[in-house]
Amino acid sequence: PMPALPAPAPVQASAEAAPAPARPAPPQPAGGVAAVEMPSRYRVTVPPSATVRYAVRGSDGSAGEALLDWQTDGVNYRLALDGITGAIQSEGGTDDAGIAPLRARYRLGAGSAAIAFERERGAIVLETLGRSVQDTPGSQDGASVLLQLAGIGLADPDQLQDMVDIYVGRLDGAAVERFQVLGTETVETPLGAMETLHLARAGAARLEVWLAPEQGWLPVQLRATAPDGSVRTQVVTEIRRAPAP
């Protein structure tokens, strides 16, 4: 298993040429959780169950394997992700904003730590830190964000233009993570050439994702660049889908 990369810095809104008029602060939700500005919602179609295996290679010559196991009945789901972005187990359901995690467990060395999405209270509980941050419709964890991106593409590919903002909860907090759409690209894989849409999340820990429309918008390649400049890439080697009912 590969160690997880540090979470990216929160995205800051760009300054306007002229000062904007002052706005009242948003109301504070129940439970004493600070309010924050949330990204807009997207239309989402929940991806069908699939298991994706990857080969991992590092810029230092290292090699390994990665796994994304997504199981859903269309309402509830279980997700296991183990690869260059860390090892995360996520479970939850769905709502009108798409995938709705309820709990995510992140592996830390020989142990693990969890966050819980208390959606009725509007809070994400950071169990390790013993505090909460605000939740929002459409929020994801570090694993489910990949399937939410796939679901956005399934619902309407035209939504994947310019920038895609998703609010993501991690062990040390939650922030809007901004994925820039870089355009279409052909990716060579052991399964053959695949036409993909290339996205990149900026920040100290850069993450690039290649979604394949012909493969149900699943992520068929990921590349992580650490703050020290080291690069790890995982490329699809197998896609297994649940048999049709």
**pLDDT at residue 21, rounded to an integer:** 41
**pLDDT at residue 40, rounded to an integer:** 63
Q: For the chain, which ranges sit under pLDDT 70?
A: 1-40, 244-245
Asked whether 146 and 219 are in contact (CB, 8 A), the reply is: yes
**pLDDT at residue 204, rounded to an integer:** 73
The set of residues, in sequence order, having a beta carbon less than 8 Å from that of 76 and lying 6+ positions away, is: 91, 92, 93, 94
> Where do the H-state alpha helices sit in the chain?
144-155
**pLDDT at residue 98, rounded to an integer:** 94
**pLDDT at residue 28, rounded to an integer:** 39
* CA-based radius of gyration for the chain: 18
- Residue 93 and residue 203: Cα distance in Å, rounded? 29
- pLDDT of 79-123, one tens digit each? 999 999 999 999 999 999 999 999 999 998 878 899 999 999 999
**pLDDT at residue 135, rounded to an integer:** 94
Q: What is the pTM of this model?
A: 0.83
